[in-house]
Structure 1
Amino acid sequence: MQKLPKWADIVLIPLINLLLAFLVSGLVILAIGKDPIVAIQTMIDGAFGSTTGLGYTLYYATNFMFTGLAVSVAFQARIFNIGGEGQALLGGLGVALVCLSIDWPHWLVALPAAAIGGAVFGAAWAFIPAYLQAKRGSHIVITTIMFNFIAASLIGFLLADLLKVPGSMDPATANFPPGAHLPTFNDIFALFGLDVFKHAPVNVSFFVALFCAFGFWVLIWHTRLGFAMRAFGQSERGAQYAGISPLKITVIAMLISGALAGMMAINNVMGESERLILNATEGAGFIGIAVALMGRSHPIGVILASILFGFLYQGGAELSLWEGIPRELVTVIQGLVILFTGALDGMVRRPLENLFLILRKPTKNGAV
């Protein structure tokens, strides 16, 4: 018997964990001599109080949607992919090579090509740890972590040497041609005579991320492959008995995961910087782990958790600017959210399970 109703597992536990994280964060802010009420108001105003702030929040959320979905799809097969950062970096390389390959006539042509380039490079980077796990027994967590560092070093070498603009000291590629520039939300609303989302980098890749979330839902819960992944995740021995190949599921799950992480580059590389630069991911691959945990590896949960972390990123920047609170404190808040939703999840889950079991106990007349 399931100890918790599904709604409690998906909604109630993450909500309580989030409230506890913000409570402890408030105490930390109070300890450094600042008003936590003013701090949270500043963060909300900075992240949602203007279209520009909302645009930045949605821009960050787009990155986290891609990486959160990447972690989630692997976790459906109980594979813990920690390599989203490296896969997103290699995805940026794929996007840059596609965008720089020709003078694209229009972004509607360049976008799907760049998305495929990012997905292929991200999947290729995920394939090696997946194969080592399935064939050699190498631990996927260790190999994907190590591949993050290898990816960062590889991109650094390429940008400092092979892909750098001749004569430039900046370790970055050339700017992408105009036909590969994605329209921002401000460009879209300008078609209707509205001047909103000024200078905010949120762009049409936000809708691509939402489409990927829908595709994730279809794949996992409405296809035979998704059923095989979930069955393998619940019981490897049972899945093998049913004829499901561990090698096949491990590799396919990691390929899809790496492809989703690599597609993040259409937002930050193609949509925002419009060239490949060093550290283009800015830690989004690691934040994706927290997003997947908090979103319970469900697409709706991932979308909501992505917006939450987008709020923390954008609101934290405003907090540092206007309240003089160190930017590092936002990292502390993010860490507390990850701590409560991940490592300390059982601290909330077990008391709630006991509470619901008590509420389910039959009464004297036998009713539940």
Structure 2
Amino acid sequence: MDEQLLRRLVPEVLGVLVRRGAGFAAGEDAVQDALVEALRVWPADPPRDPKGWLVTVSWRRFLDATRADDARRRREEVVDTEPEPGPASGVDDSLRLYFLCAHPSLSPSSAVALTLRAVGGLTTRQIAQAYLVPEATMAQRISRAKRTVSGVRLDRPGDVGTVLRVLYLVFNEGYSGDVDLVAEAIRLTRRLAAAIDHPEVAGLLALMLLHHARRHARTAPDGALVPLDEQDRSRWDTAAIAEGVAILQAALARDRLGEYQAQAAVAALHADARTAEETDWPQIVEWYDELVRLTGSPVVRLNRAVAVGEADGPRTGLAALAELDDSLPRYAAVAAHLHERDGDPDTAARLYAEAARVASDPAERDHLTRRAARLNTRARP
């Protein structure tokens, strides 16, 4: 049984059912029933047209459920016409599912879960393992999300920006359980890029590839975080970097700059430097200026302060940092880094310890704690 094939076909089959008139929730239930049947039948009798088989069985399951529900008699009059079995249409209906699963009425966590289920083809168990929650909890979350969007009609173009935010949330979850969410996010974004011609979709794909290229260098054998300037750059994935840069250059050439393209440009400048010392920090500051203009995000301003500190000296970076709210996440960590570079180890050690106390990620907390301990050890006579 080809699990990758099934996962690829799930959104296409669900898209066909929704286009024919099935509600999202009922259609998704029908597709899941068909998948169970496929797992039973296909090993002994594989179909010549897997998508066509799944569409036919899913549609029959949907009609059976519709006929059995007296409250849906009016819908039955509309949909009670079963197409003749045959090759499935080559049209990819999954694009509408991206927009449906990223509907503004859903919370970010629900949108991510629904996207992984309906577009990614993951099981509830796999999604629950990835998010380290009980399967029953994830099942309830997905059921609520399905009910929320069940009555939504996509009679107008969806918001690409919302879809991209959901995919970036998936990407940033990283890896846990038996599903690599980083790879899954890249796979889904590739499919979206193939279905829609939009420079920001390309920008997000480039950003993911460039970040993912550094993945294996980010941690030491003991699991400790390795900062960018200390990473072994020979471990970076040069093929992913080359692909990301090529995709980014094509997107930037269209002169419709967006935040994901600008973020990818920063990542590309880091990837282009053979050593940390060769990083083009002045150009990175310019891209952060563009990101501030595009987003106004305090987090972007925080990252810009780091870049300014590298380009123009730590005191200039501290001056940029002083303009921001000190309650921002990672504010203390950035301040510690800049004070360390400015030759003030006592203040840096105190701030690293403060940042460690509020860090939510265990690996980051350990990294900050070690930084503080290292500076305190040096300060002892």
TM-score by length of 2: 0.24
Q: Which has the larger radius of gyration?
A: 2
How high is the TM-score relative to the length of structure 1?
0.25
Task: Return the structure number with greater relative CO, CA threshold 8 A, min gap 6.
Answer: 1
